[in-house]
Amino acid sequence: MELVNVNISVFERVQYARKILEPMIQGKTNNEIKIMLCHCINKKIGRNYELTKEEDKFYHFILENNLSPKTLYKYFLVFDYPKHIQTQLRNKEIGMRKAQELAHAHRTMASRKGKKEIMEQMLIIIRGLKWRDLDRISKM
């Protein structure tokens, strides 16, 4: 008998997790859920982090249902990815790891908008400099 490799989409996994966590996350946005999951991760890895009563109930509920806070956090991060990456992920053109790499690259490039102008100004300044003693450099 041959084993069947069934790949479940990340979006289906999030829906499954939402069904399980529904009593605990009613009325919460994705950002609020991610913050709670982040606090639960800090607690699970052993950092001295005090959870609120709500977060403590949430943490124990996750562990009782054999879920990992870190994995759930990664799943909920998908909704912060740019739309074109989400579409590729939904169509299974790329995997989760590649989606994380592309989202990171997109995020870092988006944060560099002002740096292009600085580089252009530096090039203008450098081009305007008068270089001295070029003969000595070329003779070395």
Please check whether residue 41 is in contact with residue 70, taking contact to mean a CB–CB distance below 8 angstroms.
yes
* Calpha distance 34→73 (Å, rounded): 6
pTM for this entry: 0.70
Domain presence at residue 94: yes
Domain presence at residue 129: no
Domain presence at residue 84: yes
For 60-115, the pLDDT digits (tens) are 999 999 999 999 999 999 988 989 999 999 988 888 899 999 998 888 776 666 66
Domain presence at residue 1: no
How many domains would you assign to the chain? 1
- The closest of 6, 21, 7 to 73, measured between CA atoms, is 21
* Calpha distance 20→67 (Å, rounded): 10
The domain of 73 spans 10-110
Domain presence at residue 2: no
Domain presence at residue 3: no
Domain presence at residue 71: yes
